[in-house]
Chains A and B, each alone.
Chain A
Amino acid sequence: MVKQIDMSVNVGGIAMQNPVTVASGTFGYGMEYSQLIDIRHLGAVTVKGVRLQPWPGNKLPRHAEVPGGLVNAIGLQGPGVDRFITDYMPPLQEAGVPVIVNIWGTSEEEYAEVAARLDGVSGVAGVEINVSCPNVKEGGNAFGTDPLLVSSLVRAVRRSTKLPIIPKLAPNVPAIAVFARAAAEAGADALSLINTIPAMVIDVETRRPVLSNIVGGLSGPAIHPVAVKLVWEAAQAVRIPIIAMGGITGPQQALEFMIAGATAVAVGTANFIDPTTALRVIEGIANYCVRHGYSAAREISGTVIVEKSK
């Protein structure tokens, strides 16, 4: 008889039955994958980014396969927050799984308004603030690479909603600790990292960029070690919980994140290749707890051993 492992975690006020969610934009609005896996087993469902109004996204091609990952420039296509609430929330409410809504905008006011409209919507457990999308010219990364803008944006969203707020930080900054602290001091309940890393692919025969948007964001196994380093640094800088993502393909990478200091993890690109990845990760974390004598998954967080050299 395996002893029961307590898998539950609390991410800045979001009670999750286990530490595993899915990364925004890689799981649609949740229901797309519901025939392939039982989404009720996830710790939370994080949905594709929404802004105030419907948004068309970029022209095709929107992606390119590269060794170890994927470069995408979907461009945050979405139905707008109101239609998201009326059309996409009901089945998620029925499934009863906590929903983290990823939001974006081109001004502080827009971010704040989107967050305000989500406040009080049944099933919405938290708001992930995308300050780091490389794929839209306005907003997105423009906020994410200046700590003062991050701070001001997080404050604006903080004032507009009682929901837990989770800024999703840009990886392409000189010192992640500065951004993590700025977000925490501005009232963030948790942090999410990392978003995709700005990237570009060229077709050598035509000498043209493959993506219509010219540049995009790299995700997948290739970015995992980069993400571990950033999560480790951010975890040392702040006390609020971290949702870590970037290149998880199985329990191994998820555990690395937790050991580095993350409270929860998100499976992204791997959903496309093996939709059961998140479920495998949940099982793998439980097995790890058994092997290492932990009675609760949260005991894994921040256990990295870094020997000080003399």
Chain B
Amino acid sequence: MVVYDAIVKRQSQLTAQYYQLILEAPAVAEQARPGQFVHVKVNGLDDAALRRPFSIYNAADGMLAIVYKTVGRGTALLPLLRVGDVLSVIGPLGNGFPEVSADCVPLAIGGGYGVAPLSFLARKSGRRGTLLVGARTENDLLCLDDFEELGWDVMVTTQDGSQGAQGVVTDLLDGWLAKHKDVVPEVFACGPSGMLQAVGERALGAGIKAWLSLDRRMICGVGACLACVQQLRRPDGSEWTGRVCHDGPVFEAREVIW
């Protein structure tokens, strides 16, 4: 974990609301693992503005990439970054996803920008798996090529039916689980809380492991302020209060008390 002045190398618009930002940040990139995130100080916001957390989409050769959606006053300013601009980042932060277990098939489940850390996971896992994606419309689908290039199966559903079957991602999961009774999947999921909770419940029901990357509003990102707490359960049943930024953002479905 370092605080680092990254240099903007490239920025591209992926869809109407999504952008990819590539930063030169060797000190962060070298340490980065899938599921970890960076805490970004957005240029142009007032002095007191908090940093914004973004999952690491890729890290290689001293470069660090994030994929972001413009949703508010901070992400509205990020598209104004130009090549050569300096952007302060703290990272890599959080625990990240564990390695895929040797006897399991990786099953990645993502919604919206949640696909970004899963792409990094797929790239690093060295094993082929399946990606199940849920999105509101076809405009919220991103990074699917990454998975296809790695030889992953990709299954898509949209709420408005603009691409793939109309529905939500747990429909895909139910179908997949029913069809693949012969293999043991290990789930890696990132997306909105409702989706994660539903995925977690399915995993518990099916007796499989599911690693869920939680999204919480953060202040410090390093475990100091206690803004992002989550109630958790230990294997022995006792409860504890974790910090999503420091003890997470990835937790196993059995740990999370919704």
Task: Please list the residues of chain A having a beta carbon within 8 angstroms of any beta carbon in chain B.
Answer: 25-28, 32-33, 35-36, 48, 56-57, 60-63, 65, 67-70, 72, 74, 77, 220-222, 249, 269, 271-276
Cβ-defined contact, A77 with B241, below 8 A: yes
Q: A28-B225, A74-B225 are in contact. Are A272 and B46 (CB under 8 A)?
A: no
Cβ-defined contact, B46 with A62, below 8 A: no
CB-defined interface of B1-20 with A at 8 Å, one 1/0 digit per residue? 11100000000000000000
Q: Which 5 A-B pairs have the closest CB atoms?
A: A28-B224, A32-B224, A220-B48, A35-B1, A32-B223
Complex partner residue of A272 from B225, B228, B229, CB under 8 angstroms:
B225
| A236–B47 alpha-carbon span in the complex (Å) | 31
- A interface majority secondary structure: loop
B41 nearest CB neighbor, chain A only: A273
A31 to chain B, nearest CB (A): 9
Cβ-defined contact, B48 with A273, below 8 A: yes
| A65–B47 alpha-carbon span in the complex (Å) | 12
Chain B, interface size: which category?
20 to 34
| A160–B96 alpha-carbon span in the complex (Å) | 45
Cβ-defined contact, B48 with A269, below 8 A: yes
B219 nearest CB neighbor, chain A only: A272
Q: A222-B48, A272-B51, A273-B51 are in contact. Are A33 and B224 (CB under 8 A)?
A: yes
Cβ-defined contact, A65 with B50, below 8 A: yes
Cβ-defined contact, B48 with A68, below 8 A: yes
Pairs across A and B, CB under 8 Å, 8 listed: A35-B2, A36-B90, A60-B217, A65-B48, A65-B49, A67-B46, A68-B48, A269-B48
Task: Please list the residues of chain B having a beta carbon within 8 angstroms of any beta carbon in chain A.
Answer: 1-3, 41, 46-51, 88, 90, 216-217, 219-220, 222-229, 241, 246
| A48–B226 alpha-carbon span in the complex (Å) | 10
B223 nearest CB neighbor, chain A only: A32
Residues on B with beta carbons closer than 8 Å to the beta carbon of A77? 226, 229, 241
Cβ-defined contact, B48 with A70, below 8 A: yes
B258 to chain A, nearest CB (A): 12
Residues on B with beta carbons closer than 8 Å to the beta carbon of A65? 48-50
| A27–B222 alpha-carbon span in the complex (Å) | 10
Cβ-defined contact, B219 with A70, below 8 A: yes
| A70–B218 alpha-carbon span in the complex (Å) | 12
Complex partner residue of A62 from B48, B223, B226, CB under 8 angstroms:
B226
B39 nearest CB neighbor, chain A only: A272
Residues on B with beta carbons closer than 8 Å to the beta carbon of A48? 226
Q: Which residue among A36, A56, A65 has the maximum number of chain B CB atoms within 10 Å of its CB?
A: A65
| A220–B46 alpha-carbon span in the complex (Å) | 11
